[in-house]
Structure 1
Amino acid sequence: MTFETPEYDDSAPFEVSRSPESALPRPENEGANVCRVSAISMMFSGDGTGVRQVAPELEDMGFSQSLASGEHVWPQTHPLEQFPNLRQQGYEEEGRNRVSLWQGLNEEPQPRSATAYLVAVLGSGLERESAAAAAALWRQTGTLEGVPREAMWEAWHHLLHRWWPFEMAPWFPMLDGPPGLGMEGTDPDEPGSGLPWDAQLWTRMFDESVPRADPLTAPIVIHWLARWRLELALRSTDPVTRSLAMALLPQEEGGPPTPSQGSAAPSTSANVSTMIHGTWGWEGDWWRPGYDFHSFMLPHRPNLYKRRGTPFGWNGRYKRSARRKAGTEFQHWVAQEAPNGLQTLFGHSYGGEVASRAVLLGTPVSELVLLSTPANKYVRAAVSTPGVRVVDVRLRFDPVLFLARTRQRLPNHPNVTEVLFNRWCLDHGATHRPNMWAVESVMALSGL
């Protein structure tokens, strides 16, 4: 099958379908297949509640009712137990047998069926869906604990023998450590290093490697293929592809949320509003005075911070410790710059967690506007804080959040107004794009 590299529009809408034929690797199906892959990754996390929260969307994209209900989740499934016999899956056929694999997953919702579909999507020449599959598979094969040493050597010989004659990309896949080392400070909205996507080379490598792998070496082959694919995705010129891969960069473990003492109610003279960017967002500019989203909101919030100095910014590193520190630093920033408290606080992605941590620390905030924010324990605790009105703006289905294995719905709460985009969109940053606010009527629906 020949793949043409599409001209991507970050916020372009797409359609989903329940038809099995929509599993084929075609540009018009790519958005739906990215979402399917990320949903399967969440199922492997074991979080049935997180899956169940988006059941209507999952059914719209063709998942069976039992899969969409969160009834089937597979935490801690060992790689050697989940891989089917790849030689029997027909990956060398046009479309890599994806329609039957997708139907097989819905008919037999088991780890092996899910993995077979993910492997097929990994081999796609379409850039975004293959990157999403690599992200999902990397989590499943990241440790390879218990794999016999002789199988590792056999897989190494198998791949080296088949890959070495080909023109190699600058990054060989057998690098030590996780993908993306040294890229934690990179902004997915900023241009990559300009590495062009070579669909034909990628599918050729896949076809030379995967169908010949035996059940013992298959997890290792897929592990290294996913590793290499993620390195390529992190250096893509397409920001959506980079955001899908960046969802996999490692984080350290964190403790329980700080117990809420209740947010101090702002005084009636609260006269400052501000914005907090998300992970990797420091190098971006949407939240800065004079740039797009700040300028878009300024007529509605004339008190947006734009005076001396710069608006609050944090290092944007993909670490819980960085977000914890940022929450404390933002509390201090508010005490200095807005002693009467904040009227409206906007937070995008993990910037919403930073804002939530500040609320839990007692920072006086009247209105918290969350933009594509993971619905993790800190955010769930903050939105129930008395006296804080919450506006929760989200994509209908956000594959970046599911690849990061975080929930994407807040529980119902009387002080929360949820605004879901009607259109399907892959752009995690779409919730701070003025054109999307206009076409989705966010101002009117949110009451802002």
Structure 2
Amino acid sequence: MRARTWRTAATALGAALALAVSAAPPAVAENDRRPGPWTSAWGTAPQHPAAPDLPWGGWSSEGFTDQSVRQVMRISATGSHLRVRLSHRYGAQPIRLARATVARSAGGAAVRPGTLRDLRFSGRAATVLPTGAERFSDPVALPVRAGEKLTVTLYFAAPTGPVTHHGDGLATSYRARGDQTRGTAGDPFTGDTSTSFYLLAGVDVTRGRGPGTVVAFGDSITDGYGSTPDTDRRYPDRLAERLHAWGRPHGVVNAGISGNRLLTGSPCFGADGLTRFRHDVLGRADVRTVVVLLGINDIGAGGAPDFGCGSPPAVTAEQLIEGHRALIRAAERSGVTAVGATLTPFKNFPFYYTPDKERVRDEVNHWIRTSGAYDTVVDLDRVLSDRRPGRGDELAAGYDAGDGIHPNDAGMDALAEAVAARLPR
């Protein structure tokens, strides 16, 4: 395509992408105007219920009937009170939540006696989650410290139908028959587990004036795929640890979705990054900084056969760059610092790699490094790439989870170290 045609197409695409980001619906949350200020201390990105035959969908397609689901998450900020954010963003029908509790975790499905608190919604134990909506619990007086694990238990008496979830949670969730919200032992939950999150979108804490929240926005690398489950070794988890160790106690939220793409959505891998940016990033409490690591799935999956999750079109570097520019503009309008991360190596991932696709990655990375469009750049490509001569387009063996694209625990540590060093103070 000639240069003038490229410029015309890029201009049209840029206008469409700007509209997509600005028109994306904000978070719809009720009863959230309570004492603060609030800081996001944990979060995950909501997804559509998965098809029953997809292994990462867990219980999302069947939902819950006279069942309790107990979920564990590690908090990244210290606070005196907390509130829990529930999301029915992608539900097909309203859901009635009969009862919910929060407590400090005692390991596995057990909780610490004496810390269990009822969650209430506008003063009531039960609430209805409307289709497409989110709801915060009332504030709960339960002091928490950064690095501490909390457990949220939700009980659904009536059938829910399919539920909004986050597929690749990398943390064990537990299910039991009946109302187990006030039980402290883990025994009723033995044997029925999943590694997804259900209806949970976030935990906020109130702590007075703080340094704000960092949102890690991306795909499976941000989501933590390749790290050890149930160990909180995702790079955003390790980032929170480093920031606290360095005396910079930011809240950190993981808004990654495995398989996610910047320009096109998928029934399996979430809404496209442009559409979900306003909700998953700018809709968080006290967000100050976003770290964007997104685009490798647009490149690698572009033009590939449809295996049941949709087949996105092949993309050009110009299209991806326009997408990144749209995110930067949206962040700037909200006063959020945008940190751009270069796309990491994928040469030994056989389903994605071709020399032409590698050239697209290189062009996008060159733009991220040199354009000055992002407020700050962290070069994760160079952090993870093989340093041996002629191997720079490959993931270093010591950081490879085994598939040539996803970092292992050591790779996640390296990412966290690099991001922490580049975040504004």
TM-score by length of 1: 0.28
Indicate the structure (1 or 2) with the bigger Cα radius of gyration: 1
TM-score by length of 2: 0.29
More strand by share: 2
